[in-house]
């Protein structure tokens, strides 16, 4: 039986090979659930790295609830695949403003959306495939930074970008953090 993760990764490789020049630097922009944060991070990217990178891949993982996945497997819930398709479409639509903005900047752009229950694991898998195809890829994660942090900020913001950054760094992949400063 084939592993669906392998076919997803293979499709990503084919798309990347066709769309990007593997000899040139590739910015892999990780877009999470906080799409307002991503827009601000894209502005930071443009001002600090825009001239270095002329090709950019927007990568986003839609997080599928375990309950939806379990319902589809255990209860033969016919709505589970539909919910996954809806989540993928919603995530793809959320990336359109990024694609439009990057095109306006004159970049070669594409996006890849994946659906998973664990975004950190999924990014880990996809990053390896991307780095194999485009060895000059640099991964960009955004991080919310409070000028006056409070104790509860740690609980409200899960630290997913830090976990992803650490995973990618352990693999030896270059990672750049795009700080989005909040004046509160």
Predicted confidence (pLDDT) per residue in 3-21, tens digit: 444 445 455 645 554 678 9
Residue 92 in this model has a pLDDT that exceeds 50: yes
pTM of the model: 0.80
Going along the chain from its start, the domains and CATH numbers come out as 4-182 (3.40.50.620)
Q: What b/e string do you get for 74-113 counting C-beta neighbours within 10 Å, with b at 16 or more?
A: eeebeebeebbeebbeebeebbeebbeebeebebbbbbbb
């Amino acid at each position: 039986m084939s592993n669906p993760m392998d076919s997803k990764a293979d499709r990503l490789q084919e798309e990347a090979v066709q769309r990007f020049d593997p000899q040139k630097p590739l910015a892999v922009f990780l877009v999470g659930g906080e799409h307002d944060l991503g827009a601000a991070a894209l502005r930071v990217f443009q001002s600090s790295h825009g001239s270095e990178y002329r090709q950019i891949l927007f990568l986003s993982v839609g997080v599928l609830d375990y309950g939806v996945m379990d319902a589809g497997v255990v209860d033969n819930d016919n709505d589970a695949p539909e919910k996954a398709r809806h989540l993928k479409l919603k995530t793809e639509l959320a990336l359109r403003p990024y694609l439009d903005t990057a095109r306006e900047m004159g970049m070669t752009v594409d996006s890849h959306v994946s659906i998973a229950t664990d975004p950190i694991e999924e990014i880990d898998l996809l990053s390896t495939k991307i780095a194999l195809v485009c060895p000059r890829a640099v991964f960009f994660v955004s991080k919310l930074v409070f000028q006056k942090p409070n104790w509860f900020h740690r609980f409200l913001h899960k630290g997913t970008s830090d976990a992803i950054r650490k995973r990618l760094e352990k693999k030896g992949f270059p990672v750049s953090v795009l700080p989005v400063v909040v004046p509160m």
